[in-house]
Structure 1
Amino acid sequence: MVPDPDSPICSAKGCRAAAVWVLAWNNPKVHTPERRKTWLACKEHREYLSKFLGVRGFLKDVVKLEDWESPDAGPSTG
């Protein structure tokens, strides 16, 4: 099945699956403490991408995509 071109896809290399999770991260050597970069993850790659960011001390939050996109969502993805 081909994903909808307007739907967010997973950030894992080579993955074209629909994103379900937002992984908010920050590299403290490069970004100010409040800055959040984001990667998107499908169900299959959530744990892998979380561990990748986590071992580096970059992972700040993991949020369901639908919650992140809501008007009450967390900080700007910048």
Structure 2
Amino acid sequence: MKIFDLAAGADGPEPAVATCSRKACRSEASWQLLWNNPKIHTPERRKIWLACGEHRAWLEDYLQTRGLWKETLALVPDTSSAPIGQDF
């Protein structure tokens, strides 16, 4: 047993919820926007922003305008217990 298991309580930690990457938005994400900055990342590297339905178009436009956007994929819920992180 790990120390973090004890801190989480008897029932375990709450499941992580993927939230939208748009500033001040706490809505649940349903899209992944894959991008990279060719000035600093290798061509195969993909960073991910998460988007809710309301902010998907705004975030895509932001990345496309800067030449960073690669593709948008539906966010498939992860059944593992790994924490969900955001990459800004």
- TM above 0.5, yes or no, is yes
Q: Which amino acid aligns with 2:25?
A: C
Q: Structure 1 regions of 5+ residues with no counterpart?
A: 71-77
1:29 positional shift:
0.2
Q: What is the match of residue 73 of structure 1?
A: none
Identity of matched residues, %: 51
Q: Structure 2 regions of 5+ residues with no counterpart?
A: 1-13, 80-86
TM-score, structure 2 normalization:
0.70
1:26-45 aligned at under 5 Å gives the runs 26-45=36-55
1:5 positional shift:
6.2
TM-score, structure 1 normalization:
0.79
C-alpha RMSD of the superposition: 2.2
Runs of 4+ in 1 over 2 A off after TM superposition: none
Q: Which amino acid aligns with 1:28?
A: P
Aligned length: 67
- Higher Cα Rg: structure 1 or 2? 2
